Amino acid sequence: MSIADSGNIIRILSGCNGWWQFHGVRPDYLKATHRTLFGSIREQLSKPECRIIYIAGLHRSGKTALMHQVIQSMIDDGEDPRQILYLDFEHPFLNFVSLDVLYRTFFENVCSGPQKKTYCFMDDTQMKKDWEKEIILFSKQHPELTIVSASTIRPESIAPDSVFFHLPPVSYYEYCQIANKSEDLGYDSIAPLSGFVNASRHELLAISRYLAKFRPNFIRYLYTGGFLNLVGETDPVRVQRMIQKHVISATLGRDISSTCNVRNTSELERVFLYLCFECPGVISCEALKREVDCVSRPTIEKYMHYLNRACMILRCLPDEEESGPVQKIQPKIYLADSSIRNSLLMLDDVRVTETDLNRIVETAVYRHLRFFGPDMQEGRITYNRKKTSGKNLDMILTGRKKRIFIDVRYDDELRFSKKDYVVMNNNEADICLVITKSDRYIGQVSGLPSNIICIPANVFLFLIGHAKANGYSFLDGV
């Protein structure tokens, strides 16, 4: 008798799909708060033309929790629980059996109405061999089916009837919601109606004082990151070890090596370790090649592509509006979460240096702008590559309405030089935001141009996340 007979398949599927019997997801699988991506996925599921929804994100970023929340909301809205199939390909049995056999067994033994719309939620699809091709073929064979695929690896291409979402680690605002076990943080009453860049110094100070009670959450967020399943952990060493094992090692040693057919995993690990020391920054392939022996430039570029597909790094391109000779485009590289670097270098609030802290905050600012800031169809984030004798500019956000310079200065004392890019070239931007450490430097600063606005990092990150979650612009207000 084959181990993949229908009896064994139904037995295992029933254990993963408790709503067939109990008409709901197990309460311990559901998180108290919803990610901002939740509404977007529910919206896409309601569109008949959308056949495949891809979700990619790091391990521990909340993909499984998000899918269970979506399933529960569908059941609450009247969807038949027996038309919803969940497959977790970390289970060795499900990884062993073909998708077609799994679905046919479900379709013949569980579905309450063969002609009705069905949904298949696939978790950790990167564990399935040739998962991209199999999902597309599977979708074409079953026109009644909508697929939601969650993986740590981005798909190489997206068909017209498909949509892709990148699920990043949680924002600082979401972190505060989860840590305080409440979606309502009582903040709406003091949110600046016209956006914080148009707010007065008095308004900004009021916001900063209100958010002071979340300051311990902010410090912990910087060091332990936005990994959903680690928010409640209080031991930083345990968090670092879990990130090393369940995020870094699982992605580099298993997901990338199997999906992208990497033969020498140790080379990939050394390239990534180099990035952890140097990011954020414009990475020289020649310098990296010298550090990692026996690795050619094409191999390094290939590894960088794999790391980007695996959501481990983020790439920021140079500003196209800069004048000067044409240069080869070299992206600025950011880690997907600063806690990845912290865990490998064993950094905490005792070992961290001022330079380390500035890198950590810059990474958090970029990630928030990238995923929780203005819609990327309307704006884009670039970096400045002009050389100056003062401090260079960290980021440029260009949208249809405004051009914004962003300069991260997470220091105890705020010092400006006339040769700093943000001071010399402030007239090239509508607004220059300086991200500071203390609310001693908030709003306009005496002696600086009027379009340079200082805002503490914890306030800036909180407001971006709050604006995204509540559907308004952090620049223009409600």
Give Dmax over CA atoms of the chain in angstroms: 82
Q: Is the pLDDT of residue 156 over 50?
A: yes
**pTM listed for this prediction:** 0.90
* CA separation, residue 87 to residues 17, 38, 96, 127, 376 (Å): 8, 19, 12, 12, 32
Give pLDDT, residue 376. 54
Give pLDDT, residue 51. 94
Q: What backbone torsions phi and psi does residue 190 show, to the nearest 5 degrees?
A: -115, 5
Give pLDDT, residue 191. 65
Q: Is the pLDDT of residue 114 over 70?
A: no
Q: Categorize the per-residue pLDDT at 321 as very low, low, confident or very high, splitting at 50, 70 and 90.
A: low
Residue (of 358, 326, 338) closest to 437 by Cα position: 358
Q: Is the pLDDT of residue 84 over 90?
A: yes
Report, as an integer, the average pLDDT of 450-461. Answer: 91
Report, as an integer, the average pLDDT of 377-384. Answer: 74
* Range with lowest mean pLDDT among 32-36, 293-297, 355-359: 293-297
Residue type, 420: D
Q: Categorize the per-residue pLDDT at 187 as very low, low, confident or very high, splitting at 50, 70 and 90.
A: low
- What is the chain's mean pLDDT, rounded? 86
* Range with lowest mean pLDDT among 88-92, 110-114, 427-431: 110-114
> Which domains, from first to last, does the chain contain?
6-166 (3.40.50.300), 172-470 (no CATH)
Interstrand relation of 118-123 and 84-88 (parallel, antiparallel or unpaired):
parallel
Give pLDDT, residue 193. 63
- What confidence tens digit (pLDDT) does each residue in 236-255 have? 888 889 999 999 999 998 99
Share of the chain above pLDDT 70, in %: 91
